[in-house]
A and B are shown apart, each in its own frame.
Chain A
Amino acid sequence: MSDSFQTNSGLPVSALYGPADRGAEPPEPGRFPFTRGNYASGYRGRTWTFRQYSGFGTAEESNSRYRYLLDQGGTGLSVALDLPTQCGYDSDDPEVTEEVGRVGVAVDTLADAEVLFDGIPLDKISTSFTINGTAAILLAFYVAAAEKAGVPRAKLTGTIQNDILKEYASRGTWIWPPEPSLRLIADTIEFCAAEVPRFNAISVAGAHFRDAGANAVQEMAFTLADGVTYCDTVIERGRLTIEQFAPQVSFFFYTHGDFFEEIAKYRAGRRRWATIVRERYGATADKASMFRFGCVAGGASLYAPQAQNNIVRVAYEAMASVLGGVQSMFTAAWDEPFALPSEESATLALRTQQILALETGVTRTVDPLGGSYFVEALTDATEARIIEIMDDLEQHGGMVRAIEDGYLQGLIADEAYQLHKDIESGTVPVVGVNRFVADEPAPDLATYELDAEGRERQLKRLAKVKDERDGAAVQASLDALARAAEGTGNLMHNLIDCANAYCTVGEMVATLKAVWGEFQQPVVF
């Protein structure tokens, strides 16, 4: 019933595909360039990881939630931080009172990290932090908290998102300008490679471009371009080879509703990244050129009207992700467009993945769509378009330039505006929104009410830490950080010293701001 025969990203789709439409035969799964998947055994050896996102409020609340999840057999934690922590403000900053503890846990000092991970065996579980602007500082807290609890840093496993470029263009938790931010990311990558070898220093995320309005092909192209920028930065410093750090680089996307386009996006992305790592950086080891990714099924593809339709959308999106070869997946709850998911809707979202993995049979054979005339042709067309977009960005002067002058933000805003208009006019059909519209009352929106008591407890702990810490040690470690920032050395040891002296996130951020300045956002719409 689509009004035009093209994918949502504008790639043309023919009525019929045959042998002539397919390019070279892709090699079998597990072989470069991995079009058909990273692993020869596909999901037979191991299914993808079912992820659950959790954690908000104070360190105490999150800690008891984590202990519960571990008691239930969980092996990994996912830490969501509140916006002040993400943007580099302390909880007692009057500018951010409204936001303390709202979308995640507030972490001001090492004392909060100690409470957050109290009684949790950090040598046995992995911890994933959704943190970007202040990722290096949170990593310093994590290392310091673990060592205080007797766990050596070499035993720590987990991930920090640590992808600042997409923050400038879409998510918004930037602090410093791109150049020093890239340096800090390279510092974390080098530090992890040398001292925390089981910890992933970066997860390059396209999901936020998508949520801001980018189409599927743009999402993949922008994300690979970010990946190239990070790898270039590390390689240019000359302290690590591509083989030493590329296996720790992973990716993260949204899967939306255009079924075959999403499958082709992941197959094309996997092939393109492997090719880039081999051709641009000369990597020879397969492990270095593998494109490992997680995804969320849902996001901006879900709608509030007739919200239960979202259950169906998420199920199709989850299947597309699996047919594209995803390594870990989060399925969104159907009520997400207007509420924090209820326990019931969150469970249903998880069940969607379990039914897919255990009942539908899609995991029985590896890359079941491999060799399909249409899927291979669409994969080729998607990759060609990704190359065009990446070339355009390179010609514009690279990602940093495209962010600083707002070119990238403009591309995303154009796409978001057009899609909004197309949905309003009905050109793009959305069931329940512009087709088969029911006369129903707007759903009740539940917004998360701030826990004033929790905030008070957070402020009290911060005041106590500031009162009891050694002021001279605080000043000395911040001064050393400032001096190191003026040079070119790795800052991670300075940040760990600051953490151990109980400096606050806000103090460390302000110290670096004094040296590096702040990002000046281009205003584009």
Chain B
Amino acid sequence: MPARVLVAKPGLDGHDRGAKIIARTLRDAGFEVVFTGIRQRIEDIVTIALQEDVALVGLSILSGAHIALTTRTVEALRAADAGDIAVVVGGTIPPADVPRLLEAGAAAVFPTGTPLDEVVSRVRELTAASTSP
């Protein structure tokens, strides 16, 4: 059974080109991918993550609100007793914010320009505990 992952777009920003490329790349790499579409509330992302029983949530954020949105997602997952679901973040992320995101509970950060192979191998590592492709 391949690992299931959720690609999610929180907030009102509608730029989903990167999110869709990542979703397709992970699918091509053998993952079972669920994509939320744009403009998702954090509680909806958490609900979908639980319903779909995913091993990892990937947030795509280009609006500049990445710290707050990541923090809220990690906290909401923990509150739902799903703190074992890894959260990774991609998008327009300044280098200085990478450690802050890791501190906020992100398992990995993929700023714009990260090679797709690197994203795939990190996601594979992070989902290795569940049955991986």
Contacts and interface: CB of A to CB of B under 8 A. Distances in A.
A474 B96 CA distance: 47
Interface stretch (A62-70, A93-101, A500-508): A93-101
Nearest to A520: B37
A523 B36 contact: yes
Given A98-B68, A172-B39, A445 B14 contact: no
Interface stretch (A22-30, A198-206, A248-256, A416-424): A416-424
B63 interface: yes
Contact of B20 (A103, A173, A417, A446): A417
B110 to A, nearest CB: 13
B120 to A, nearest CB: 12
Nearest to B9: A172
B14 A95 contact: no
Nearest to B117: A424
Nearest to A406: B37
A98 B42 CA distance: 13
A171 B20 contact: no
A525 interface: yes
Interface string B34-61: 0111110100000000000000000000
A57 interface: no
Contacts of B39: 87, 172
B93 A445 contact: yes
A178 interface: no
B92 A445 contact: yes
A167 B12 CA distance: 13
The secondary structure that dominates the B interface is loop
Interface string B10-35: 01111111011101110100000101
B63 A102 contact: yes
B105 interface: no
Interface residues of B, number: 37
Interface string A434-449: 0000000010111110
A237 B53 CA distance: 49
Interface in A435-472: 442, 444-448
Nearest to B69: A98
A262 interface: no
A211 B65 contact: no
B24 A521 contact: no
A428 interface: no
B128 interface: no
Interface in B63-77: 63-65, 68-69
A305 interface: yes
Contact of B111 (A305, A442, A446): A442
B12 A447 contact: no
A173 B63 contact: no
A171 B63 CA distance: 13
B93 A525 contact: no
Contacts of B121: none
B64 A102 contact: yes
Nearest to A171: B14
Contact of B116 (A211, A424, A521, A525): A424
A98 B65 contact: yes
A523 B27 CA distance: 14
A515 interface: no
Contacts of B96: 444
B99 to A, nearest CB: 14
A233 to B, nearest CB: 23
Given A447-B94, A521-B37, A523-B35, 12 more contacts: A87-B39, A99-B11, A99-B12, A170-B14, A172-B12, A173-B14, A213-B17, A442-B113, A523-B37, A525-B7, A525-B19, A525-B33
20 contacts: A83-B12, A83-B63, A87-B12, A96-B12, A98-B63, A98-B68, A99-B65, A102-B65, A172-B14, A172-B39, A213-B17, A305-B113, A413-B24, A416-B20, A420-B21, A442-B113, A521-B37, A523-B37, A525-B19, A525-B20
